[in-house]
Structure 1
Amino acid sequence: MDSGSPQPPKGPAAGPSDPSIADWTDHYFLRTKATVARFGDATVTYAVFMRRPVVSAPRLALNWLSEVARQRGTEFKVDLIYPEGKWVGAGEPIMYITGSLVHLADLETILLMKLGPACVAAFNAFTMCADLPNVSFLAMDARHCAGLEMAEIMAYAASVGSARAKRKVGAKGFIGNATEATAHYFGQEHALGTMPHALIGYAGSTLRAAEMFHETFPGDPMTVLVDYFGREITDSLTVARRFPGLAAEGNLSVRLDTPGSRFVEGLDPTLSYAVLERHVPRTLRGYRSEQELRHLVGAGVTAAAIWYLREALNREGFQRVKIVGSSGFDPAKCKVMAESLAPVDVIGTGSFLPQRWTETYATADIIEYDGVKRVKIGREFLFRKADGDR
């Protein structure tokens, strides 16, 4: 199969093997396959597209298609119009696939499963990284995924969006992720992460959890959750005082994951406005939607909360202690953080996952039968363009 340089898939994203494809494909494709096999095969070309702008993330879909072609002893020719990482407009064919209709008819369902969600997640990851080019991102999406295959697709997509942001705006992008199985997508041998809230609860105090972690992993940088007891400022400073060496070396981070049901220690709406007035007064001058205001001065992990924590750390000489933000960092929240110049060093997020799942639906239409152009009325825009028209 000619599709660039796909490699045989590994892991859960490999998808159903040839014998089980029939169990997972739409039944009318199986009836089409049987009918065509009876009346005579045809060479067809599919145009594969999406109805919204995306970033092309076709590798897992093409890897699977290549493996199926190998198992069936056939060949599919893929004309990849938008290679991995390229911006794709709404309705623009991402690729054309040509081959036997008998062998392609039953593959559409699974192929589109692997393509559409990846392209939208890659788009989201790109916009987040591009809006905050000086922030490092950590993919924490696995717990929000519906199974192992989705987890692999989403990790792959985040790496594609991140790579585009690095190329286009010099962003730091995603530096790693939270699970070992997909760390390779981010150029890492191992997953990244230190402690969940459960370890804080087990230890009985934020400081004790930090001490236990450091004793268990003495050579590792440490990120400490500081919201468990609602003492984000107090516990951040307590941990920094306890580990001055790590703090001075830049190997200590504090992570804000404050829930939206309360404000960070020491803040309320009035004080949150005052914090932003001290640092980024212009951020509050224009029109703001209710959601944008919540990201700026509301409860939870807001721009004001991050600025407030940064003030407290700097006052005590802990300028090199990093701040990690998590909790609902989707493209909209990242945009507000960028506008408010929030001094966050790392963002842990799974919110590049598509929020409107209907936008992930990829579509494929046959546009040629044995070299003759033919498509349902209204889809003529899918016909191949002349090279000069692309």
Structure 2
Amino acid sequence: MPRRETPAAPPPDTSDAVITARTDSYFNRTKQIVERFGDTRVTYAVFLRRPVVCAPRLMLDWLRAVAKARGTDVHIEVMHEEGVWVGAGDPLLYITGSLVALSDLETLLLQKLGAACVAAHNAYQMCLELPKVAFLAMEARHCAGAEMQEMMAYAASVGSRAAQAEGAKGFIGNANDATAHWFGQKSGYGTMPHALIGYAGTTVRAAEMFHETYPTEPLTVLVDYFGREVTDGLAVARRFPELAAEGRLAVRLDTHGGRFLEGLDPAESYAVLERHAPGAIRRYRSETELRHLVGTGVSAAAIWKMREELDTAGFPKVRIVASSGFGVGKCRVMAEAKAPIDVVGTGSFIPDAWSETYATADIVDYDGTPRVKVGREFLLRNGARRRGGA
């Protein structure tokens, strides 16, 4: 797919004072020592210890802006294009320039790279597990501030485009305006939170309020507030038969993990899957996989049950939006159960194990002489590696 044009991001804060305050002190001291004893031109290799999808744009934009503000020449060789799978330990890029100019940037540039690459990999895998399902990015509520929110939305868009290149629907948008541009949208998607249903008093009344306020927009209604997903879902469909018939009505399942969807229990959950995807429950399953299949919350059985009830009542075009913990593993299980999901709303591409997001940078060349700490020889460029380094 052609790369989507995105508006320029606000200029990053590249002041030396901010960089000095936020970087590790030993880098600041290294800068002072090198200034005293003489600068040298170095090359950094930057890598992660696990497979990722290359998502370097935010880091590169920041690094180039810093170099411009400092009036220094920095040569960046990106080894993998944005959206390309990269193996563990394989350098994503080489950065060459003055050690004085670069030594205090390592902390911040690694912050802007590692998590984005891992989140992009997660989003890519999720989209490939459910290639016929559209995804909606809902990362903002799980982020620690605006910078992380921007990074995670960007990462999801990179992983999505990589999956779309392989035929998946991928992420069609996200849930807020500030980062919608990463998905080629002008604004975020969304209809109602649980709070609106509590305010309205009934699920149907909340749907009416939304439709009266936004009469031209498709309607997606949360149906788990009162624990009557099926009853309230059908009531909304009967209240808006035209929207239902046009495919402009959706029910969103967000049942929490403390209970089953209305009408289900363990036995009935197994029975539902036996009717629709018997192969999914006839092989060994981990405890987590079983929960995704037939457990409480938004399980594959719950989604199939909702689809059964809608179809039986004459609403085959009412769509199902599923949310609640849809990471890579849950998407894989849903695919194996052939769960009839139309849209997944998720922020679960955000890395679970933050330690996996740690990017690393090592200097591999000093004034043209290859040199790296023992054990990191794999970072040397091929020619230097063959010569054994120095």
CA distance in 1 between counterparts of 2:295 and 2:348 reads 19
The residue number in structure 2 matching 1:111 is 109
Q: Is the 8 A contact 1:9 1:63 kept in 2?
A: no
Q: Is the 8 A contact 2:196 2:206 kept in 1?
A: yes
Is the counterpart of residue 158 in structure 1 residue 156 in structure 2? yes
* Post-superposition offset of 1:179: 1.1
- Percent identity at matched positions? 67
* Post-superposition offset of 1:18: 3.5
Q: Provide, for residues 135-191 of structure 1, a one-character-per-residue CA deviation record: whole Å limited to 9, x for no partner.
A: 0000001010011100000000000000000012x1010000011110000000111
The residue number in structure 2 matching 1:88 is 86
SS at match of 1:180: coil
CA distance in 2 between counterparts of 1:276 and 1:309 reads 12
The residue number in structure 1 matching 2:381 is 384
Is the counterpart of residue 273 in structure 1 residue 252 in structure 2? no
* Post-superposition offset of 1:112: 0.2
CA distance in 2 between counterparts of 1:131 and 1:197 reads 29
Is the counterpart of residue 348 in structure 1 residue 345 in structure 2? yes
Amino acid at match of 1:365: D
Q: Is the 8 A contact 1:328 1:349 kept in 2?
A: yes
CA distance in 1 between counterparts of 2:49 and 2:8 reads 27
Aligned ranges 1:208-219 → 2 under 5 Å = 208-219=205-216
Q: Provide, for residues 29-71 of structure 1, a one-character-per-residue CA deviation record: whole Å limited to 9, x for no partner.
A: 0000001111111110000000000000000000000100110
* Post-superposition offset of 1:16: 5.0
SS at match of 1:85: coil
TM-score (normalised: structure 1): 0.96
CA distance in 2 between counterparts of 1:145 and 1:16 reads 23
TM-score (normalised: structure 2): 0.96
Structure 1 stretches (4+) deviating beyond 6 angstroms? 6-9
Unaligned runs of 5+ in 2: none
After superposition, the CA RMSD in angstroms is 1.6
* Post-superposition offset of 1:299: 0.3
Q: Is the 8 A contact 1:8 1:64 kept in 2?
A: no
The residue number in structure 1 matching 2:176 is 179
Q: Is the 8 A contact 2:42 2:97 kept in 1?
A: yes
Q: Kindly tell me: are residues 8 and 374 of structure 1, through their superposed partners in 2, closer, same or farther at Cα, counting changes over 3 Å?
A: farther
Q: Kindly tell me: are residues 38 and 7 of structure 1, through their superposed partners in 2, closer, same or farther at Cα, counting changes over 3 Å?
A: farther
* Post-superposition offset of 1:10: 2.2
Aligned ranges 1:62-211 → 2 under 5 Å = 62-168=60-166, 170-211=167-208
Is the counterpart of residue 327 in structure 1 residue 324 in structure 2? yes
CA distance in 2 between counterparts of 1:251 and 1:106 reads 53
CA distance in 2 between counterparts of 1:240 and 1:11 reads 43
* Post-superposition offset of 1:15: 5.1
Match among 363, 368, 372 for residue 369 of structure 2? 372
* Post-superposition offset of 1:317: 1.4
Q: Is the 8 A contact 1:18 1:71 kept in 2?
A: no
* Post-superposition offset of 1:7: 9.9
The residue number in structure 1 matching 2:9 is 10
CA distance in 1 between counterparts of 2:239 and 2:133 reads 26
* Post-superposition offset of 1:19: 3.1
